[in-house]
Amino acid sequence: MKLKQIIIDADIYIKIGSSQKYRYLEILFPAIAEKIYMHKVVYDEIMIPACAKEQVDALIQIGILELINEAQLSDIKKSIYNRTFASLASVMINPKREKKNRGEVSSLAMAKTQSISHFGTDEKDLQPIIDEKLNSRIDNIHCIRIMDIIQMI
């Protein structure tokens, strides 16, 4: 089953893209979704391994992956994004470690704002937070983990 769209977190890119010999991101990602999104915050998190960053850049160049951020949103959508971000940050971001989970929070806020119903992450305990904070039967967001990606192929 190929998804229409998905937004994916850094942990997936880093884990799947870590092989220098096999370019799994370039093989798997076009097969799982028509369009893949990555928040700019997540892109900035992927520094190592270099082979993962190279594959991400290659997917951007061929149009499979698109970088997005809140600066691209209309004023109304930016307001929705900011409220969603604040709601998630209240339970996911520790003020003493502000960068921890920022990629997940940014991506999920964007997913809710843009009605992207799938979030690629390898965080196993994230779905209950999404269900509590974001899902309301309209445009629900579902976590897709590495095992789910493998089973989709």
pLDDT tens digit sequence for 15-45: 999 998 999 999 999 999 999 999 999 999 9
Is the pLDDT reported for residue 11 higher than 90? Answer: yes
Domain ranges, residue 132:
3-152
Is the pLDDT reported for residue 150 higher than 80? Answer: yes
Is the pLDDT reported for residue 96 higher than 80? Answer: no
Tallying the residues shown for the chain, one arrives at 153
| CATH number where 48 lies | 3.40.50.1010
Is the pLDDT reported for residue 61 higher than 80? Answer: yes
pLDDT at residue 139, rounded to an integer: 87
pLDDT at residue 30, rounded to an integer: 93
Global confidence as pTM: 0.94
Ramachandran angles phi, psi of 81, nearest 5°: -60, -50
The edge-to-edge listing of strands for the beta sheet with 142-144 is: 65-68, 33-39, 3-8, 118-120, 142-144
Instruction: State how many domains the chain has.
Output: 1
Is the pLDDT reported for residue 98 higher than 80? Answer: no
pLDDT digits (tens, 9 = 90+) for 62-75: 999 999 999 999 99
